[in-house]
Amino acid sequence: MNADDAVNLLVRPVTNSDIYRYCVKLAVLPNGGTVNITNFGWYSPYLSETYIDACNITNLNNYLPNSFPSNTMIILYEHECTMTEHAWNIQTKYGQQITLMIITQRTDSVFQLTYDTTTMPVSIPVLIILDTDFNSMMNRYNNPNNIQLSIDYAVITSNKVRPAILLLFLLILCIFLGGNFWAADEFKQNIKTKTNTTPVQVITRQNSVAPNETLPTANGVPILPMTCCFIAVMICFAVGWLLLLYFFPQVMIYVLQVMFCISSFTCLTRCLNRASYLIPLLRRYKTPSHAFRKPCIFKLGPLNLFTILSMSISLTLVIIWYIYRLTDWAWVLQDILGAAICISVTSMYRLGNMRVITIILILFFLYDVFFVFITPYI
Protein backbone atom coordinates (compact mmCIF):
# COMPACT_ATOMS: atom_id res chain seq x y z
CA MET A 1 0.00 0.00 0.00
CA ASN A 2 1.58 3.28 -1.06
CA ALA A 3 -0.50 6.43 -0.99
CA ASP A 4 -1.64 9.13 1.31
CA ASP A 5 -4.28 6.71 2.47
CA ALA A 6 -6.31 6.68 5.64
CA VAL A 7 -5.69 3.48 7.55
CA ASN A 8 -6.60 2.41 11.04
CA LEU A 9 -4.18 2.56 13.93
CA LEU A 10 -4.82 -0.49 16.11
CA VAL A 11 -4.26 -0.02 19.82
CA ARG A 12 -4.40 -2.82 22.36
CA PRO A 13 -3.41 -2.96 26.04
CA VAL A 14 -0.68 -5.40 26.99
CA THR A 15 -2.98 -6.88 29.65
CA ASN A 16 -5.85 -7.93 27.36
CA SER A 17 -6.83 -8.30 23.72
CA ASP A 18 -9.31 -5.42 23.41
CA ILE A 19 -8.50 -3.46 20.25
CA TYR A 20 -9.48 0.13 19.52
CA ARG A 21 -9.14 1.85 16.16
CA TYR A 22 -7.99 5.39 15.40
CA CYS A 23 -7.64 7.17 12.07
CA VAL A 24 -4.10 7.77 10.80
CA LYS A 25 -2.55 8.47 7.42
CA LEU A 26 0.21 6.49 5.79
CA ALA A 27 2.75 8.80 4.17
CA VAL A 28 3.74 8.16 0.56
CA LEU A 29 7.19 6.58 0.33
CA PRO A 30 9.58 7.70 -2.43
CA ASN A 31 10.86 5.58 -5.32
CA GLY A 32 7.76 3.38 -5.38
CA GLY A 33 8.25 2.07 -1.85
CA THR A 34 5.36 0.23 -0.23
CA VAL A 35 4.29 -0.83 3.25
CA ASN A 36 3.04 -4.35 3.94
CA ILE A 37 -0.01 -3.64 6.06
CA THR A 38 -1.18 -7.25 6.23
CA ASN A 39 2.01 -8.41 7.96
CA PHE A 40 2.80 -5.16 9.73
CA GLY A 41 2.98 -6.68 13.21
CA TRP A 42 2.73 -5.07 16.64
CA TYR A 43 5.06 -2.32 17.85
CA SER A 44 5.90 -0.92 21.27
CA PRO A 45 5.49 2.88 21.31
CA TYR A 46 8.09 5.35 22.50
CA LEU A 47 6.60 8.80 23.08
CA SER A 48 9.16 11.58 22.86
CA GLU A 49 8.89 14.94 24.56
CA THR A 50 7.57 17.93 22.66
CA TYR A 51 10.96 19.67 22.66
CA ILE A 52 12.67 16.82 20.78
CA ASP A 53 13.17 18.13 17.25
CA ALA A 54 13.59 15.50 14.55
CA CYS A 55 14.68 18.23 12.15
CA ASN A 56 17.91 18.60 14.12
CA ILE A 57 20.10 15.49 14.22
CA THR A 58 22.10 16.96 17.11
CA ASN A 59 18.91 17.36 19.11
CA LEU A 60 18.04 13.72 18.44
CA ASN A 61 21.47 12.54 19.57
CA ASN A 62 21.25 14.55 22.78
CA TYR A 63 17.75 13.61 23.91
CA LEU A 64 16.90 10.21 22.40
CA PRO A 65 18.50 6.87 23.32
CA ASN A 66 21.24 5.57 21.06
CA SER A 67 19.24 2.47 20.18
CA PHE A 68 15.80 0.94 20.48
CA PRO A 69 14.64 -2.68 20.46
CA SER A 70 13.30 -3.93 17.16
CA ASN A 71 9.61 -3.31 16.47
CA THR A 72 9.59 0.04 18.24
CA MET A 73 7.36 2.86 17.03
CA ILE A 74 8.85 6.27 17.79
CA ILE A 75 6.21 8.96 18.27
CA LEU A 76 7.39 12.51 17.57
CA TYR A 77 5.76 15.92 17.37
CA GLU A 78 6.05 17.75 14.05
CA HIS A 79 8.56 20.60 13.89
CA GLU A 80 9.62 23.20 11.33
CA CYS A 81 10.90 21.01 8.53
CA THR A 82 9.51 18.61 5.96
CA MET A 83 8.12 15.19 6.80
CA THR A 84 10.92 13.73 4.68
CA GLU A 85 13.57 15.27 6.93
CA HIS A 86 11.78 13.99 10.04
CA ALA A 87 11.69 10.46 8.67
CA TRP A 88 15.20 10.45 7.18
CA ASN A 89 16.89 11.60 10.39
CA ILE A 90 15.11 8.87 12.36
CA GLN A 91 15.94 6.23 9.76
CA THR A 92 19.59 7.33 9.65
CA LYS A 93 19.93 7.05 13.41
CA TYR A 94 17.99 3.82 14.06
CA GLY A 95 17.83 1.87 10.80
CA GLN A 96 15.05 -0.12 9.17
CA GLN A 97 13.54 -1.80 12.25
CA ILE A 98 11.93 1.43 13.44
CA THR A 99 8.51 2.79 12.56
CA LEU A 100 7.81 6.50 12.90
CA MET A 101 4.58 8.22 13.90
CA ILE A 102 4.38 12.01 13.60
CA ILE A 103 1.82 14.04 15.54
CA THR A 104 0.59 16.98 13.47
CA GLN A 105 -2.04 19.71 13.53
CA ARG A 106 -2.41 19.86 9.75
CA THR A 107 -5.60 18.44 8.29
CA ASP A 108 -5.45 19.60 4.66
CA SER A 109 -2.06 18.27 3.59
CA VAL A 110 -0.96 15.41 1.35
CA PHE A 111 1.90 13.72 3.16
CA GLN A 112 4.52 12.63 0.63
CA LEU A 113 8.12 11.82 1.54
CA THR A 114 9.44 13.11 -1.77
CA TYR A 115 11.31 16.24 -0.66
CA ASP A 116 14.69 14.88 -1.82
CA THR A 117 14.46 11.31 -3.02
CA THR A 118 18.13 11.14 -4.00
CA THR A 119 19.79 12.05 -0.70
CA MET A 120 16.83 11.09 1.54
CA PRO A 121 15.36 7.82 0.21
CA VAL A 122 13.05 7.13 3.15
CA SER A 123 11.93 3.50 3.36
CA ILE A 124 10.57 3.11 6.91
CA PRO A 125 6.79 3.30 7.48
CA VAL A 126 5.70 6.79 8.49
CA LEU A 127 2.29 7.30 10.09
CA ILE A 128 0.64 10.70 10.49
CA ILE A 129 -1.88 11.25 13.29
CA LEU A 130 -3.78 14.37 14.28
CA ASP A 131 -2.98 15.77 17.70
CA THR A 132 -6.67 15.62 18.69
CA ASP A 133 -6.85 11.90 17.89
CA PHE A 134 -3.60 11.24 19.70
CA ASN A 135 -4.79 13.13 22.79
CA SER A 136 -8.00 11.10 22.73
CA MET A 137 -5.94 7.91 22.64
CA MET A 138 -3.76 9.06 25.54
CA ASN A 139 -6.82 10.02 27.58
CA ARG A 140 -8.00 6.44 27.26
CA TYR A 141 -4.71 4.68 28.03
CA ASN A 142 -2.72 7.31 29.99
CA ASN A 143 0.60 5.42 29.89
CA PRO A 144 1.94 4.57 26.39
CA ASN A 145 4.17 1.88 27.90
CA ASN A 146 1.10 -0.26 28.57
CA ILE A 147 -0.09 -0.50 24.96
CA GLN A 148 0.99 -1.94 21.61
CA LEU A 149 0.37 -0.41 18.19
CA SER A 150 -0.24 -1.76 14.71
CA ILE A 151 -2.07 -0.72 11.55
CA ASP A 152 -4.74 -2.32 9.43
CA TYR A 153 -7.01 -1.49 6.53
CA ALA A 154 -10.06 0.56 7.40
CA VAL A 155 -13.21 -1.42 8.10
CA ILE A 156 -15.43 -1.50 5.04
CA THR A 157 -19.05 -0.89 5.95
CA SER A 158 -21.64 -2.57 3.79
CA ASN A 159 -24.29 -0.60 1.94
CA LYS A 160 -27.15 -2.64 3.32
CA VAL A 161 -29.71 -1.01 5.56
CA ARG A 162 -28.59 -1.16 9.17
CA PRO A 163 -31.11 -1.66 12.00
CA ALA A 164 -29.88 1.52 13.72
CA ILE A 165 -30.98 3.62 10.72
CA LEU A 166 -34.43 2.05 10.77
CA LEU A 167 -34.68 2.60 14.53
CA LEU A 168 -33.71 6.26 14.09
CA PHE A 169 -36.33 6.70 11.36
CA LEU A 170 -39.04 5.14 13.53
CA LEU A 171 -38.03 7.34 16.47
CA ILE A 172 -38.29 10.51 14.38
CA LEU A 173 -41.62 9.34 12.93
CA CYS A 174 -43.02 8.68 16.41
CA ILE A 175 -41.86 12.10 17.60
CA PHE A 176 -43.62 13.92 14.77
CA LEU A 177 -46.75 11.80 15.00
CA GLY A 178 -46.89 12.15 18.79
CA GLY A 179 -46.36 15.90 18.79
CA ASN A 180 -48.83 16.59 16.00
CA PHE A 181 -51.44 14.21 17.42
CA TRP A 182 -51.11 15.96 20.76
CA ALA A 183 -51.49 19.39 19.15
CA ALA A 184 -54.46 18.26 17.04
CA ASP A 185 -56.20 16.71 20.04
CA GLU A 186 -55.80 19.88 22.09
CA PHE A 187 -57.09 21.95 19.19
CA LYS A 188 -60.11 19.66 18.88
CA GLN A 189 -60.79 19.85 22.60
CA ASN A 190 -60.49 23.61 22.42
CA ILE A 191 -63.12 23.72 19.69
CA LYS A 192 -65.52 21.66 21.81
CA THR A 193 -65.19 24.02 24.77
CA LYS A 194 -65.72 27.17 22.72
CA THR A 195 -69.13 28.76 22.70
CA ASN A 196 -70.89 29.82 19.55
CA THR A 197 -70.14 33.46 20.31
CA THR A 198 -66.38 32.86 20.46
CA PRO A 199 -65.22 31.41 17.16
CA VAL A 200 -61.91 29.58 16.98
CA GLN A 201 -59.25 31.47 15.05
CA VAL A 202 -56.31 30.09 13.15
CA ILE A 203 -53.14 32.03 13.97
CA THR A 204 -51.96 34.11 11.03
CA ARG A 205 -49.91 37.24 10.65
CA GLN A 206 -52.99 39.45 10.92
CA ASN A 207 -54.30 37.97 14.16
CA SER A 208 -51.04 36.86 15.79
CA VAL A 209 -50.40 37.75 19.40
CA ALA A 210 -49.47 41.36 20.04
CA PRO A 211 -46.84 42.22 22.69
CA ASN A 212 -49.47 43.32 25.21
CA GLU A 213 -51.83 40.38 24.63
CA THR A 214 -51.93 37.03 26.34
CA LEU A 215 -51.03 33.84 24.55
CA PRO A 216 -53.86 31.63 23.30
CA THR A 217 -54.30 28.43 25.22
CA ALA A 218 -55.75 25.01 24.62
CA ASN A 219 -57.00 23.39 27.82
CA GLY A 220 -54.59 25.50 29.82
CA VAL A 221 -51.57 24.63 27.63
CA PRO A 222 -49.96 27.68 25.99
CA ILE A 223 -49.77 27.80 22.21
CA LEU A 224 -46.76 29.72 20.91
CA PRO A 225 -47.13 31.15 17.39
CA MET A 226 -43.94 31.23 15.30
CA THR A 227 -43.68 34.69 13.77
CA CYS A 228 -40.82 35.91 11.58
CA CYS A 229 -39.43 37.94 14.47
CA PHE A 230 -39.50 34.89 16.72
CA ILE A 231 -37.62 32.84 14.09
CA ALA A 232 -34.92 35.53 13.78
CA VAL A 233 -34.48 35.62 17.56
CA MET A 234 -34.28 31.82 17.64
CA ILE A 235 -31.53 31.77 14.98
CA CYS A 236 -29.54 34.46 16.83
CA PHE A 237 -29.96 32.52 20.07
CA ALA A 238 -28.66 29.32 18.44
CA VAL A 239 -25.65 31.13 16.97
CA GLY A 240 -24.92 32.74 20.32
CA TRP A 241 -25.02 29.38 22.06
CA LEU A 242 -22.58 27.88 19.56
CA LEU A 243 -20.18 30.78 20.05
CA LEU A 244 -20.36 30.40 23.82
CA LEU A 245 -19.73 26.66 23.46
CA TYR A 246 -16.74 27.37 21.23
CA PHE A 247 -15.09 29.93 23.52
CA PHE A 248 -16.17 28.55 26.93
CA PRO A 249 -16.66 24.79 26.43
CA GLN A 250 -15.63 23.78 29.95
CA VAL A 251 -18.35 25.95 31.50
CA MET A 252 -21.13 25.78 28.92
CA ILE A 253 -21.18 21.99 28.87
CA TYR A 254 -22.43 21.98 32.47
CA VAL A 255 -24.96 24.70 31.71
CA LEU A 256 -26.33 22.61 28.84
CA GLN A 257 -26.50 19.52 31.02
CA VAL A 258 -28.51 21.36 33.68
CA MET A 259 -30.84 22.84 31.06
CA PHE A 260 -31.30 19.43 29.43
CA CYS A 261 -32.12 17.79 32.77
CA ILE A 262 -34.70 20.45 33.70
CA SER A 263 -36.36 20.53 30.28
CA SER A 264 -36.38 16.74 29.88
CA PHE A 265 -37.91 16.27 33.34
CA THR A 266 -40.66 18.79 32.57
CA CYS A 267 -41.38 17.49 29.07
CA LEU A 268 -41.31 13.80 29.97
CA THR A 269 -43.72 14.49 32.83
CA ARG A 270 -46.05 16.30 30.42
CA CYS A 271 -45.86 13.46 27.89
CA LEU A 272 -46.60 10.75 30.45
CA ASN A 273 -49.34 12.83 31.99
CA ARG A 274 -50.87 13.44 28.57
CA ALA A 275 -50.73 9.74 27.71
CA SER A 276 -52.78 8.97 30.81
CA TYR A 277 -55.81 10.66 29.20
CA LEU A 278 -56.02 7.68 26.85
CA ILE A 279 -56.91 5.51 29.87
CA PRO A 280 -59.43 7.42 32.05
CA LEU A 281 -59.00 4.89 34.85
CA LEU A 282 -55.50 6.22 35.49
CA ARG A 283 -56.88 9.66 36.30
CA ARG A 284 -59.58 8.59 38.71
CA TYR A 285 -57.68 9.12 41.94
CA LYS A 286 -56.52 12.50 43.19
CA THR A 287 -54.85 13.85 46.28
CA PRO A 288 -56.85 16.32 48.39
CA SER A 289 -55.93 20.00 48.34
CA HIS A 290 -53.77 21.39 51.13
CA ALA A 291 -53.28 24.87 52.54
CA PHE A 292 -49.82 25.80 53.81
CA ARG A 293 -48.95 28.67 56.13
CA LYS A 294 -45.20 28.20 56.41
CA PRO A 295 -42.86 29.46 55.11
CA CYS A 296 -45.54 31.42 53.25
CA ILE A 297 -49.28 31.09 52.79
CA PHE A 298 -50.29 29.19 49.68
CA LYS A 299 -52.76 26.53 48.64
CA LEU A 300 -51.84 23.37 46.76
CA GLY A 301 -54.72 22.14 44.66
CA PRO A 302 -55.62 18.50 44.16
CA LEU A 303 -53.06 16.48 42.20
CA ASN A 304 -53.76 13.43 40.12
CA LEU A 305 -51.91 10.39 41.44
CA PHE A 306 -50.72 9.48 37.95
CA THR A 307 -49.20 12.95 37.61
CA ILE A 308 -47.19 12.33 40.77
CA LEU A 309 -46.15 8.93 39.38
CA SER A 310 -45.13 10.59 36.10
CA MET A 311 -43.00 13.11 37.95
CA SER A 312 -41.33 10.31 39.92
CA ILE A 313 -40.57 8.29 36.78
CA SER A 314 -39.23 11.34 34.94
CA LEU A 315 -37.04 12.42 37.83
CA THR A 316 -35.65 8.89 38.21
CA LEU A 317 -34.78 8.61 34.52
CA VAL A 318 -33.13 12.04 34.50
CA ILE A 319 -31.00 11.19 37.54
CA ILE A 320 -29.98 7.82 36.08
CA TRP A 321 -29.02 9.46 32.79
CA TYR A 322 -26.93 12.15 34.48
CA ILE A 323 -25.03 9.65 36.64
CA TYR A 324 -24.37 7.16 33.83
CA ARG A 325 -24.31 9.59 30.87
CA LEU A 326 -20.77 8.54 29.86
CA THR A 327 -21.57 4.82 29.60
CA ASP A 328 -22.18 3.00 26.33
CA TRP A 329 -25.91 2.47 26.97
CA ALA A 330 -26.74 6.02 28.13
CA TRP A 331 -27.81 6.97 24.59
CA VAL A 332 -31.04 5.02 25.12
CA LEU A 333 -32.13 7.24 28.01
CA GLN A 334 -30.83 10.34 26.23
CA ASP A 335 -32.96 9.53 23.17
CA ILE A 336 -36.04 8.98 25.34
CA LEU A 337 -35.56 12.30 27.11
CA GLY A 338 -34.78 14.08 23.85
CA ALA A 339 -37.86 12.61 22.19
CA ALA A 340 -40.02 13.88 25.06
CA ILE A 341 -38.61 17.39 24.56
CA CYS A 342 -39.26 17.25 20.81
CA ILE A 343 -42.83 16.01 21.27
CA SER A 344 -43.60 18.75 23.80
CA VAL A 345 -42.11 21.47 21.60
CA THR A 346 -43.98 20.18 18.55
CA SER A 347 -47.26 20.22 20.46
CA MET A 348 -46.80 23.82 21.62
CA TYR A 349 -45.52 25.71 18.59
CA ARG A 350 -47.72 26.68 15.66
CA LEU A 351 -46.54 27.53 12.15
CA GLY A 352 -48.90 30.18 10.81
CA ASN A 353 -48.44 29.81 7.04
CA MET A 354 -46.19 28.49 4.29
CA ARG A 355 -44.14 31.69 4.20
CA VAL A 356 -43.06 31.19 7.80
CA ILE A 357 -42.20 27.56 7.09
CA THR A 358 -40.15 28.57 4.03
CA ILE A 359 -38.24 31.20 5.99
CA ILE A 360 -37.44 28.66 8.71
CA LEU A 361 -36.07 26.14 6.22
CA ILE A 362 -33.99 28.74 4.34
CA LEU A 363 -32.49 30.20 7.52
CA PHE A 364 -31.60 26.81 8.95
CA PHE A 365 -30.13 25.77 5.60
CA LEU A 366 -27.86 28.84 5.54
CA TYR A 367 -27.07 28.31 9.21
CA ASP A 368 -26.01 24.72 8.55
CA VAL A 369 -23.93 25.62 5.48
CA PHE A 370 -22.08 28.34 7.39
CA PHE A 371 -21.16 26.24 10.41
CA VAL A 372 -20.28 23.10 8.44
CA PHE A 373 -18.45 24.43 5.39
CA ILE A 374 -17.33 27.98 6.23
CA THR A 375 -16.24 27.91 9.88
CA PRO A 376 -13.27 25.54 9.21
CA TYR A 377 -11.66 28.37 7.20
CA ILE A 378 -12.22 31.06 9.84
What average pLDDT does this structure show over 236-261? 85
What average pLDDT does this structure show over 221-233? 63
Exposure on the CB side of residue 210, measured as CA atoms within 13 A: 4
What pLDDT sits at residue 115?
76
128-176 per-position pLDDT tens digit:
999 888 888 888 888 888 889 998 887 766 556 667 777 777 877 887 7
Residue 228 — pLDDT band, cuts 50, 70, 90? Answer: low
What average pLDDT does this structure show over 84-98? 87
CATH architecture of 5-152: 3-Layer(bba) Sandwich (3.50)
Q: Which of 64-73, 119-128, 306-315, 343-352 has the lowest mean pLDDT?
A: 343-352
Q: What are phi and psi of 103, to 5 degrees?
A: -90, 125
Cα–Cα distance between 78 and 55 in angstroms, integer?
9
What pLDDT sits at residue 210?
47
The DSSP-derived string for 164-229 is HHHHHHHHHHHHHHHHHHHHHHHHHHHHHH--TTS------STTSPPTTSPPPEETTEE-EEE-HH
Which one of 30-39, 67-76, 195-204, 277-286 scores highest in mean pLDDT?
67-76
pLDDT higher for 367 or 312?
312
pLDDT surpasses 90 at 95: no
What pLDDT sits at residue 121?
87
Q: What are phi and psi of 354, to 5 degrees?
A: -70, -30
The answer to whether the predicted template modeling score (pTM) of the entire model surpasses 0.75 is: no
- Provide the residue ranges of all domains of the chain, joining segments of one domain with +: 5-152, 163-287+315-377
Percent of the chain with pLDDT over 90: 10
Q: What are phi and psi of 112, to 5 degrees?
A: -125, 130
